[in-house]
Structure 1
Amino acid sequence: MAGTPGCVRAAQSAWWWHEHASPVVVLPPASDGGRQVTIHGKPAGTAYSLFDVLDLVHRADLPAEDRAVDDPELIEWQGGGPYDWNSPNTPDTANE
């Protein structure tokens, strides 16, 4: 891209990101166990379970039914995967 104007490089970079990034991003768990979800870069809501994430995906008309929740082309899980809902600062009480 040497010699390419900055605005063209930025547009090309944005195109690559748009074409290759997961449309759904689930952020790390908060102290209450909820995880913020963005869809196409916009806040979609807070999920407290995998079912909440799937509901947000369905509401956004994304094809969740034919993709696994661990498909990185659909969902990027940050700070834990689809079965991690406790904040690192919150003790796990599921086994008590």
Structure 2
Amino acid sequence: MYISIAGPVTLEDVNNFGEFHVVMDGDEAAAVAALDGRAGPSQRDNHLWIDIALVRELAGDAAGTEWEARFEAMLAYAATKGWIDEPNDRVEAHIQPPG
């Protein structure tokens, strides 16, 4: 799944739990601004910390019981890689240009 920042912010490919990124033109500062402060820069280039609650909100109607279980499994895997900021309840995502 990925967050698209091209006009309105949307969550795309919502049932793909094998990847997570942000698609946009621009840099970390532009992404943080577009996400109304619900993201923050990472220490790694071209990466952001995304509020986990925002991902759930953007999933909308797709976020049923099965989706939530698979999302939790994705977050558990991300935690093993150091991609979860537990104190701030965020998951790390890389920024990918469109296309």
TM-score range, shorter chain: under 0.3
Q: TM-score, normalised to structure 2's length?
A: 0.26
Q: TM-score, normalised to structure 1's length?
A: 0.27
The structure carrying a bigger helix percent of its residues is 2
